[in-house]
Amino acid sequence: MKAQGRTTTGEHPRTPGKTGALPRAIGGSGALPPVVVGQGAARRLRVLVATWLISESTRRMLDGIRAFLRENGLEWDIEALSMLQTDTIRLALEAERPDGVVMGFDAPQVAASLAATTMPVVFLRFGAKDPAPRRHLSVLRLGFGNAGQTAANHFLDRGGFRCFAFVEATQDPAWSLDRGRAFQEAVERTGGDFRRFSAADGIYQAAIAHRSELTDLAAWLRTLPRPAAVFAATDERAREVILACREAGLDVPRSVAVLGVNNDDFSCRHIIPNLSSIELDHAALGHVAAEELQRLFDGRRARRYNFAVPVRRLVARASTAPASPGGALVRRALDFIDAHALDGIGSADVVRELGVSRSLLDLRFRELGGGTVLQAIQERRLREVARQLRETDDSIEEICRAVGAGDASGLRRLFRRRFGCSMREWRKTRFDGSAPTL
């Protein structure tokens, strides 16, 4: 993929060598001499942009690089490569002999090879260890928490979900953890029930898993209190969630609402229902990376700093569409239960608040796979009991009274059935950090 370019800075001081040889390493500290194309020559600087996959987000990042060049009257020759093997970057360096590199994925061997050159390099880091300081290496430590916060806001604004779940990316990279952590924190600040499907819980080795590989994810989705809001680390992972919902017999979005990240047009539009997605501002990332690389070309000192990748927009499609009238009724009921379950309410109070019959409301709950009104009240109380056991020193009797349970012994039985242990055993686990996820 080529983007044409020229720079007004003069001749590169690198000594020409064999085609297969990388530029020689240099010692010392401070800034590099500026990169120039001299003697009135019009040779454009060659820049290699290395990313893990050539995707929609890569194209947006390249748009940001080109925007920086236009704004500053600069032109580069840009080569974008997908790095599925670490050897590929070395081959590209030897064949293309670029003047600078934007390195968009983590690979220690590649980082070491680049560190051993005089070539200006901007590393985009997702959590891996920074390369050793060099005067030609700048590092942008990327943060992706904005996506998780946006996802939580979207679902919380919709309201009525009984739980909020995050599905990690395959092999659980740092950027996936970043998104999941921000999503979890935002949900739990509101008292929401958070769940997580770990990459270790499945056997996924491809972007889109084969049907037989969706069994674990489908089984996990069946355990979620519904309606459930599921945020996936990527669009590809969100597609897997939709396929697993089909496997599990769960309706999207009525029982499970699904949201992805990247807003890749193919991934989002070629699945039924069409996938809602968060579009990150990769153009802003490309602009910042280009600006930093140009600083190095100009002979300025390398820098290391954090950059939180912003969200450009959230594109809502059918996978998170508002519920049907029946689903809206259930959500109204759940909102009332969340607000008053600890006040000792019963099913009759919910029915009276909504002005419908008990049989109709239970029918709507069953249609969404959510059990009954009474079970929803019990689940809200049990989650509060579990929280107080973990976070307070109140006695079990005091906690049972605090959550509005008229029958403490009955609540103890429900707790054991729900969490697989007694309240006393649950409380003990807080000291060794082994308490199950709520």
Domain count, the chain: 3
Q: Do 131 and 10 share a structural domain?
A: yes
Q: Do 181 and 100 share a structural domain?
A: no
Over residues 263-280, the mean pLDDT reads 91
Task: Specify if 427 maps to a domain.
Answer: no
Over residues 158-186, the mean pLDDT reads 89
Q: Do 257 and 162 share a structural domain?
A: yes
Q: Do 214 and 248 share a structural domain?
A: yes
Which tokens hold the place of 39?
């003697």
Rg (CA), the chain: 27
Tens of pLDDT, residue by residue over 373-407, are: 888 888 888 888 988 888 888 998 899 889 888 78
Tens of pLDDT, residue by residue over 190-227, are: 888 999 998 654 443 443 444 456 788 999 999 999 89
Tens of pLDDT, residue by residue over 240-259, are: 999 899 888 898 998 999 99
Non-local (6+) Cβ contacts of 138 within 8 A are 120, 121, 122, 123, 292, 293, 295, 296, 302, 303, 304
Q: What is the pLDDT of residue 259?
A: 98
Task: Specify if 368 maps to a domain.
Answer: yes
Q: Do 207 and 170 share a structural domain?
A: yes
Q: Is the pLDDT of residue 297 over 90?
A: yes
Over residues 51-68, the mean pLDDT reads 88
Q: What is the CATH number of the domain that holds 182?
A: 3.40.50.2300
Q: Do 332 and 293 share a structural domain?
A: no
Of the CA atoms within 13 Å of residue 126, those in its CB half-sphere come to 18
Q: What is the mean pLDDT of the chain?
A: 81
Which tokens hold the place of 31?
């800034």
Q: Is the pLDDT of residue 325 over 60?
A: yes
* CA dihedral of 156, 419, 372, 325, whole degrees rounded to 10: 20
Q: 263 exposed, middle or buried (CB, 10 Å; 0-12, 13-18, 19+)?
A: buried
Over residues 278-305, the mean pLDDT reads 95
Q: Is the pLDDT of residue 42 over 90?
A: no
* Range of the structural domain that residue 371 is part of: 325-422
CB of 327 closer than 8 Å to CB of 254: yes
Q: Do 213 and 92 share a structural domain?
A: no
